[in-house]
Structure 1
Amino acid sequence: MDMPLWAWLGFNALVLVLLALDLGVLNKKERAMGAREALKLSAFYIVIALLFNVGIWYSLGEVKALEFLTGYLIEKSLSLDNIFVIALIFGSLQVPPQYQHRVLFWGILGALVMRAIMIFAGTALIMELHWLIYVFGGFLIITGAKMLFASDKEPDPANHPILRFCRKHFRVTEGYEGKAFFVRRNGLLYLTPLFLALILVEVTDLVFAVDSIPAIFAITTDPFIVYTSNVFAILGLRALYFALASIIHRFEYLKYGLALVLVLVGTKMVMVDFWKMPTPLALGLTVGLIGGSILLSLWKTRGQKAESA
């Protein structure tokens, strides 16, 4: 369904307002965001997304509304794994808590641009080359299977090839320079470790986007639904990080739930020309897999204490 230009402009205007509110009003002071404040902000973004979903229901109908909700839930679920990696990045690079929100804000801004490009390119390709649906589906099934059987060894962000490249080819300061991404010394431009953290956050999101965007194409190829559900899920990522960073280590079984969701949506794509899985069924299975894996994880680790973000 082709949406009118005003719908696209209106949605992007809303996004700009939310970003301006986030940066200019909610985070004027350089301080670490508390878990309670983060939960409130995360709930705010979720409520805005659900209100938008109600608007889709009234203007575009039940089917589009369910597609948006399912896509949003899948993106939100996959972002939990993203949060775990971001926590590793901040811990490994020892990013001061009061500057983490700055890295995440600009990281999310870059992620929105990257994902918009990937979504519109992917939609155009699928419209022209229908067989790509099978390629995306197979890719998701393989990715999900790998996630199921992957080792639990945590990656070391400090030794990431991107960081080695930056340190080899650019001037990098020894320590943090406040909130600055760049500084000048004796007329020479230096990168700061805060900028290296930003680069890693962007690379991390790009890697996760390769999984998550094809997953939404399993639900719908409507570019407006894919784009808006993706954007709303990403907008709340920063607040969700601060809300969950201290307990994300307890989600032991989350990766299995996410892996099964990827296999599910991949199978849905591969079978699209033979059997179309009803969107309500896909939504219910996604909720069950993600919710079940989180509840089981929290139950098993109920005696563990929260970690400092």
Structure 2
Amino acid sequence: MSKIWRVIDLIHWSESYFKDKAFQNPRSEIEWLLCSLLECGRLDLYMRFEEPLSKVQLSTLRNWVKRRLKKEPLQYITGSCDFYGREFLVAPKVLIPRPETERLIEESIKSLESFQSPKILDIGTGSGCIAITLAKEIKNSLVVGLDKSSESILIAEKNSIRLNVNNISFTQMDILKDYPKDKFDLVISNPPYIPKNDMPELMEDVRDFEPEIALTDFGDGLTFYKRFVKILPNIVSRKSLLVVEVGIGDHPDNVLSILKESGYSDIKIINDYNGDRRVLRIKIQN
């Protein structure tokens, strides 16, 4: 008779297994996989600890563990991740949303409080997590998400349908070669900002699996910010905002220099939850 594997058995076995394979948070690894497999939260998982898994579920879990041993991100394995309290579909063609990017959302919501019906442009929308979240949180907004990748646009559209968002649209566009003809009250972006020379230093999970085009500009990490200041006069309203994510180290200072050299002075620097400077908000008066 084949062994019956309960939830608690799998947690104990996998925690030991992942620990032997030098994973930093072995219990978190199996909790993530089991929560996705059983479609439940972490608390519910432990309330179901005596529940046995079916052969199909065990086969799926076995396959997921093998993939994780190769350092494939958990979000790609299970096909989803949380962002600002909502579940988004993700795939290897889009960047995995990070908690620090939620700071862009918080700052944007706060900065748009005085706007009646803000028009928002999300450049490099990827999974659509920023654009969709703003469309959901700011009910009277009109949001446009742009991305160079047709695969990203498809995933973003799927997410907008799943989350029942009607005040949003997505367009395939290479912002380095073109720009929208409308005027927006907020331009927001988490662009590729990792310098090409820094790519080898990234964690294996990121470097080997996430789309390179979403991580680096294949240059100094400043290409998109230089493009933004060039096209901003053509795409923003008279009183508007630019909110962008920046990298670590001296990257924020380099982006600040670009903005100041282009005549922007009303700039706010926002720290992420770790205290690092990761978001810049620029007030624009055209």
Same fold (TM over 0.5): no
Higher helix proportion: 1
Higher Rg? 2
TM-score class, shorter: under 0.3
Higher relative contact order (CA 8 A, sep 6+): 1
Tell me the TM-score normalised to structure 1 length.
Answer: 0.21
Higher strand proportion: 2
